[in-house]
Amino acid sequence: MSLYTRMLQWHGKVYERTNGRLGHRLLGVPTILLRTKGRKSGLERISALVYARDGADVLIVASNHGGDKPPAWLFNLEADPAINYQLGRKRQEATARAVYPDQAGYERLMKICDDSNSGRYTRYRAKTDRPIPVVVLTPA
């Protein structure tokens, strides 16, 4: 496990354990705590992720840092799109919907996300042949 991965895990734990008092921003980048239900276990899974906004919707990207496999949380929310997220100390129920590169609106949503994350998603997309979806979280 890389130092970067360990730092991200530590950040997520601090965010969660302080109930959002610490951790909403990591090095200036806004971070969300995504809560999904494990598709096999049924247990709550929490992931700290960079997010962007599109009106009332929150956008996250299933990039897995450009890895060839999608993140597990994507499979969880595709199995059960009723999720919960936390921004700072505020929790919100929402419905998740993955938008893939072949779908309308994808490039616009990806640009919003990429602009908010210093162009990292462009670099991640260049690292893999896997389609990287943008996930739209629409508040309930």
Domain ranges of the chain: 3-139
Task: For residues 133-140, give the mean pLDDT.
Answer: 97
The token duo for 82 is 């009723």
pTM of the model: 0.87
Helix (H) or strand (E) holding 13: helix 3-17
pLDDT at 95 over 80: yes
Q: What pLDDT sits at residue 11?
A: 64
Would you say 134 and 110 are in contact if contact means Cβ atoms under 8 Å apart? yes
Amino acid at position 10, single letter: W
pLDDT at 82 over 80: yes
Please provide the average confidence, as pLDDT, over all residues in the chain.
Answer: 89
Q: CATH homologous superfamily for 3-139?
A: Electron Transport, Fmn-binding Protein; Chain A (2.30.110.10)
- Calculate the alpha carbon distances from 127 to 3, 55, 63, 88, 122 in Å: 20, 30, 10, 31, 9
Task: Compute the distance between CA of residue 62 and CA of residue 111 in angstroms, rounded to an integer.
Answer: 14
b/e burial code for range 1-13 (CB count within 10 A of at least 16 → b): eeeeeeebeebbe
Q: pLDDT-based confidence at 4, cuts 50/70/90?
A: low
Query: Regarding predicted confidence, which is higher, 56 or 21?
Result: 56
